[in-house]
Amino acid sequence: MPRIVCHSALQSSDVTQPAEFEARTDETILEAGQRAGFSFPSACRNGVCERCAGELIRGRVSIARKNHTIDAGEAESHQVLYCVAHAITDCEINVPDVRAPGELPVHEVTCQIADITQLNDDISRVMLRLPAGKKIQWHAGQYLELIFPFGDCAFSIANAPGGRDIELHVRYHHENSSSLDVIDALNNNATVKARLPGGLRYIDALPETPVWFICGSTGYAPVKAMIEHLRANNFALPIYLFWGARTLADMYMLEEAKQFALDMPNLTFIPALSDEEHHGMHSGLVHEAVLQNLPAAQEPVFFVGGSPPMAWAVFDALVEAGVPGDSIQSDVFDYAPRG
């Protein structure tokens, strides 16, 4: 069957792999996409509404109602109606309003700043409230962008999806002036504009393997959201939570992380400190604690949260230890890829 590679303007800039589906020769590309779970826009099935129109970037299609073919690069290839187009070869297409299975619509909204709580010397928990009357969805592990006059800033959503409240863990320090601009703007305004959701490394359907979370500093935020989601959906397979920091004070939600292990018998929490020693905590870098506990049997899926240097260091250490690279997930791999 011909394979269709589908691009869409709805996809966020961090999408590194376009979505794909297969099309039988007896079905239109729109029918094949909808059968595969894609939300192709359409209001007819015979090329009248033109909502499904898009560009044919590569390949050849036949148009049933005109009884002729269109090849990529021809004049007609810039406005193909996919409700009447059949794939003859593998094709690459661009349809503006298509969403892949599981992909959520992106919204720009004005949020109320409901609360700001200091968690340690340089991290605050910021609670936002989404506007009423507009259902906005996100997946556990995704992020949002706060929109300021001085620029957009991305923050992981630290709570599981559902409801109107969004939790952010905002870190700021004097070595990063833009981070001070962010916390000042949040402290001095009642509302903030946000764009959400973003990110491809998340948990929606429950994984079929154990899940290992590895995080540093505020990389704990998306991990917290994913653990909350697993707990709410009674995930029963083993979970490991490795949280690394320099000092005990940097582990800004330590008691909450410990509570996960108390609430969830299948979760093991292993904190790691690189600059201090404390009883019951691993002394050293977080990936070293992970390597000491790697399973000999079933391979888990790994989610890594933290800065680009930390995430890539974890990736390299795990791959060197024999972990398949495609089982290691992190937003860093999308927004800060290595050349």
Determine the pLDDT at residue 18: 65
pTM: 0.76
Residue 302 structure tokens: 């790994």
Determine the pLDDT at residue 16: 42
Determine the pLDDT at residue 9: 52
Torsion sign (Cα): 242, 243, 244, 249? negative
Q: pLDDT (tens digit, 9 = 90+) per residue, 115-148?
A: 999 999 999 999 999 999 888 999 999 999 999 9
Residue type, 129: R
Q: Of 58, 48, 57, 59, which is closest to residue 81 (Cα–Cα)?
A: 48
Question: Phi/psi zone of residue 258: left (φ > 0), alpha (ψ -120 to 50 degrees), beta?
Answer: alpha
- Domain locations in the chain? 3-94, 107-198, 211-335
Q: pLDDT (tens digit, 9 = 90+) per residue, 228-252?
A: 999 999 999 999 999 999 999 999 9
Give the chain's mean pLDDT: 91
Determine the pLDDT at residue 14: 41
DSSP lists the bridge partners of residue 125 as 117, 169
Determine the pLDDT at residue 296: 67
77, 191, 194, 215 from 185: Cα distances, Å: 47, 9, 13, 27
| Helix orientation angle between 220-232 and 254-263, rounded to the nearest 10 degrees | 20
The low-confidence residues of the chain, meaning pLDDT below 70, are 9-18, 43, 102, 296-298, 339
- Find out whether 208 and 123 touch, Cβ atoms under 8 Å: no
CATH of span 3-94 = 3.10.20.30
Q: pLDDT (tens digit, 9 = 90+) per residue, 297-324?
A: 668 999 999 999 999 999 999 999 999 9
CATH of span 107-198 = 2.40.30.10
Q: Of 217, 212, 223, 211, which is closest to residue 272 (Cα–Cα)?
A: 217
CATH of span 211-335 = 3.40.50.80
Beta-carbon contacts of 107 under 8 Å, excluding residues fewer than 6 positions away, are 134, 136, 195, 196
